[in-house]
Structure 1
Amino acid sequence: MKINIADHYEEMSKMAAEHIIQTVHRKPNALLSIAGGSTPLGTFRYLIEASKDNRVSFSACKFVSLDEWVGLGGGDEGSCRSTLDQHFFEPLNIREEQIRFYDGRSTDLNGECEKTDLFVEEHGPIDVIVLGVGLNGHLGFNEPGCEMDTYSHVVELDDVTRTVSVKYFNEQKNLNHGITLGMKHIMESKDVLLLADGDKKAEIVKATVLGEMTDDVPSSLLRRHARFELFVDDKAAAFIRNHAQGEE
Structure 2
Amino acid sequence: FDVTFVNKDNLPEYVWANSWGVSTRLMGALIMSHSDDNGLVLPPHLAPIQVVIVPIYKNAEQLKQISSHIEPILLQLKEMGISVKYDDADNRRPGFKFADYELKGVPVRLVVGARDIEKGTVEIMRRDTLEKSEAPLEGIAGHVKALLEEIQTHIYRKALAHRQEMTRTVDTYDEFKKEIEKGGFILAHWDGTTETELKIKEDTKATLRCIPLDGDTTPGVCMVTGRPSKQRVIFARNY
For this structure pair, what is the TM-score category when the shorter chain's length is used for normalisation? under 0.3
TM-score, with structure 2 as normaliser: 0.26
Structure number with higher strand proportion: 2
| Larger-Rg structure | 2
| TM-score (structure 1 length as normaliser) | 0.25
The one of the two structures with greater contact order (alpha-carbon pairs below 8 A, sep at least 6) is 1
